[in-house]
Amino acid sequence: MPDFDRLKLLASAHNDTVKQLSRLIDSARERRRAGLMLLEGIHLIDAALAAGHKPQVVYVNPAAEHHLELRALLSRLDCPGYLVAEGALSRVTSLASAPEILAVVPRPEPNWTKAPECAVLLEDLQDPGNLGTILRCAAAAGAAAVYLSKGCADVFSPKVLRAGMGAHFALEIFEDADLAAVLDAFAGAKVVTALDGAVSLYTVDLTGPTAFVFGNEGAGVSPSLQALAPARVKIPMPGSAESLNVAMAATVCLFERVRQREAAAG
Amino acid sequence: MPDFDRLKLLASAHNDTVKQLSRLIDSARERRRAGLMLLEGIHLIDAALAAGHKPQVVYVNPAAEHHLELRALLSRLDCPGYLVAEGALSRVTSLASAPEILAVVPRPEPNWTKAPECAVLLEDLQDPGNLGTILRCAAAAGAAAVYLSKGCADVFSPKVLRAGMGAHFALEIFEDADLAAVLDAFAGAKVVTALDGAVSLYTVDLTGPTAFVFGNEGAGVSPSLQALAPARVKIPMPGSAESLNVAMAATVCLFERVRQREAAAG
């Protein structure tokens, strides 16, 4: 319970702490090595707490002293907290300006063995915005598990966390997954989208267990993964524009499943 | 036909040109005053040319001398062209590094009076990424016209053009539109989404002419516009996550219309 008024200003250890935070912000390798992620701002920390994650330590912006949501959040925390001068915080953050609070939190581990009703498999996704958007969409559409290949951008990077808007904590996230093994073992519909797919998404039965595979922004889904799906599926596009980006395609696919299940439920 | 090898290096006028380009990149007001937009990179200029837009002048990066696509593009242009040193170009561009080419192009005017089969109305959308993504989705889904309220971000800004990936040139775009008048006059389904909407999107008949209204990222669609739609529509979200962002919501809505029309066509 780090009450705001009892927080101590970081002084002697200051520089080392700022350096450690900078490394956690900037380096996926450092985040993995330390088994940590850095949550920036009240909203993300709130979502993590609600899902049972426990920060190791928080760093608070003295300029946010009168922020009521911040004070409410602090009262729910059970870890050490320190004030860090706004100038130092703004050098550390990935945001345009210093957040009210930063939390160092152990990287979540998936803790789950049952097969998901709806799984999202991501192969070598590189763009943090796409990755976060897909997680957000998966969580909204009720998908339970997301599997990421080794070639994906770090799913717990500041940008992905920001774009995910807390969705990370509503999902089981499996990193460095063997997508071929996951897809092969999956009992249910297997949907791999491709621009030149032969089957319209809208004709595939998605009311049961479903695994969706989305591929790299440039290369799409690899042939070896495609071979594990019964058919290549396309999203019909009547317009003249180029294809949707992968986050939009995932949105269409995941919500087509929502629609079909709603229709099936009457 | 500015053949690469005959392009002249900007020298004396250099500084003034760079200043003008910087203003066009940075300032919506300046773009509107001048009636111009700035297209960065081969892909966007290519899309604009294909749609019949004519650059006034292009500025070419000498470092792209051996870029075959650039040479092909130049051969199709009918305007003056100049080489600008890469260092100067990289100070002007909104991209991370200097593009191969920049084009100054008259801002498109909608040239169209028939009522669209599918219209997208955007009220006070602020985020350039959302705006561009919605344009891209509208073009892919076959919507023909986009109407923007005065409070929207500049639809011809570099960021929106980039996120739109050429969709701007596949659409009729009406800026500073009186959305209430457009919606009131629209003959067809009128869909305003709201988190607390009473009607599921999936129960609305979208097979005929349809106008979709999407609102500001924070405030949503204003009550006065909502009042002009027969019902507030929601996208069902079985998951635990917060709502979709406006670009994802638009993607779901526009492709639900694609699906219904495909199903109706058999």
> Are A182 and A121 contacting, i.e. CB atoms less than 8 angstroms apart?
yes
Give the side-chain half-sphere CA count within 13 A for B221. Answer: 31
Q: Give pLDDT tens digits for A87-129.
A: 888 888 888 889 999 999 999 988 777 888 999 999 999 999 9
Flag if B140 and A244 touch (Cβ within 8 Å). Answer: yes
pLDDT number for residue A260:
97
> Tens-of-pLDDT digits for all 266 residues of chain B?
578 888 888 765 567 888 889 999 999 999 999 999 999 999 999 999 999 999 999 999 999 989 999 999 999 999 999 999 888 888 888 888 899 999 999 999 887 778 889 999 999 999 999 999 999 999 999 998 999 999 999 999 999 999 999 999 999 999 999 999 999 999 999 999 887 888 999 999 999 999 999 999 889 999 999 999 988 999 999 987 667 899 999 999 999 999 999 999 97
pLDDT number for residue A243:
78
Question: CA-to-CA distance for A110 and A173, rounded, in angstroms?
Answer: 6
Flag if B261 and A240 touch (Cβ within 8 Å). Answer: no
- The full 3-state SS of B119-154, as one line of letters, equals EEEECCCCCHHHHHHHHHHHHHHCCCEEEECCCCCC
CA distance A251 to chain B (A): 7
ipTM associated with this complex:
0.90
Segment among A81-85, A174-178, A258-262, B70-74 with least mean pLDDT: A81-85
Q: Give pLDDT tens digits for A213-230.
A: 999 988 999 999 999 998
> Are A203 and A236 contacting, i.e. CB atoms less than 8 angstroms apart?
no
Flag if B240 and A136 touch (Cβ within 8 Å). Answer: no
Which residue's structure tokens are 């980006």? A245
Question: CA-to-CA distance for A150 and B7, rounded, in angstroms?
Answer: 46
Q: Which helix (H) or strand (E) holds B199?
A: strand B199-200
Share the mean pLDDT of chain A: 92
pLDDT number for residue A242:
66
Flag if B237 and A258 touch (Cβ within 8 Å). Answer: yes
- Region A39-46: mean pLDDT is 96
Question: CA-to-CA distance for B193 and B207, rounded, in angstroms?
Answer: 17
**What residues of chain A lie within 8 A of the CB of B259, using their CB?**
202, 236, 256, 259
Outline where chain B has alpha helix (H).
Answer: 14-26, 28-34, 42-50, 68-75, 86-92, 128-141, 158-164, 179-185, 223-226, 246-265
Please name the fold of domain A4-106: 60s Ribosomal Protein L30; Chain: A; (3.30.1330)
Please name the fold of domain B118-265: Alpha/beta knot (3.40.1280)
Give the side-chain half-sphere CA count within 13 A for A13. Answer: 10
Nearest-Cα residue of chain B relative to residue A254: B252
> Are A176 and A147 contacting, i.e. CB atoms less than 8 angstroms apart?
no
Burial zone of A31 (CB within 10 Å; 0-12 exposed, 13-18 middle, 19+ buried): buried
Q: Give pLDDT tens digits for A12-29.
A: 556 788 888 999 999 999
pLDDT number for residue B32:
94
- Centroid of chain to Cα A195: 25
Q: What is the DSSP letter of A65?
A: T
Angle at B117 (CA atoms; ends B112, B121), nearest 5 degrees: 75
A120 contacts chain B (CB < 8 A): no
Asked if pLDDT for residue A58 goes beyond 70, the answer is: yes
**What residues of chain A lie within 8 A of the CB of B167, using their CB?**
241
Asked if pLDDT for residue A78 goes beyond 60, the answer is: yes
pLDDT number for residue A237:
92
> Are B108 and B29 contacting, i.e. CB atoms less than 8 angstroms apart?
no
pLDDT number for residue B42:
96
Q: Which helix (H) or strand (E) holds B210?
A: strand B210-214
The size of chain B, in residues, is 266
Residue B102 backbone class (left: φ over 0; alpha: ψ -120 to 50; beta: rest) = beta
- Which sequence spans correspond to the domains of chain A? 4-106, 118-265
A182 contacts chain B (CB < 8 A): no
> Are B184 and B206 contacting, i.e. CB atoms less than 8 angstroms apart?
no
Could you please report the per-residue DSSP string of A8-60? EEP-TTHHHHHHHHHHHHH-HHHHHHHTEEEEESHHHHHHHHHTT---SEEEE
Q: Which of B165, B235, B244 to mutate to test the interface with A (most CBs of A within 10 A)?
A: B244
Flag if B238 and A261 touch (Cβ within 8 Å). Answer: yes
Q: Answer with the residue of higher pLDDT: A75 or B1.
A: A75
pLDDT number for residue A70:
95
Measured over the CA atoms of residue B97, residue B103, residue B107 and residue B111, the dihedral's sign is negative
